[in-house]
Amino acid sequence: MDSQFYTRQDAEMSPIDSVAKRRLTNLEELPPRDTKRWVVRRKAAVVNGVRDGLLTLEQACARYGLTAEEFHSWERLIDQHGVRALRVTRLQDYR
């Protein structure tokens, strides 16, 4: 990491939080097409992939068998509560 951009906040950032800030640059960084187990990191990667322009919403939905509503719910949770809100066990706390 370039020291001029390194902050204390970066040092204290959990791996889960760092996923949301990471810019994706190629499709290999996305979860596999046959993903069945959607952990926080994978959900955040798909949202980042769409936001970074690697694929469109329609492509993401087709690639992963998602509905637009499901994708938008992940996006809303990230925007309103942060990446940690994507944890299924915590979902009720954020609704």
For residue 32, what are the CA distances in angstroms to 13, 57, 90? Answer: 26, 16, 24
Cα–Cα distance, 55 to 59 (Å, whole number): 6
DSSP state of 77: H
Cα–Cα distance, 86 to 94 (Å, whole number): 9
For residue 71, what are the CA distances in angstroms to 1, 29, 77? Answer: 31, 18, 10
DSSP state of 24: P
pLDDT value at residue 25:
82
Q: pTM for the whole thing?
A: 0.74
Each residue's pLDDT expressed in tens, for the chain with a length of 95 residues: 444 444 444 445 555 566 666 788 888 889 999 999 999 999 999 999 999 999 999 999 999 999 999 999 999 999 998 898 998 755 455 55
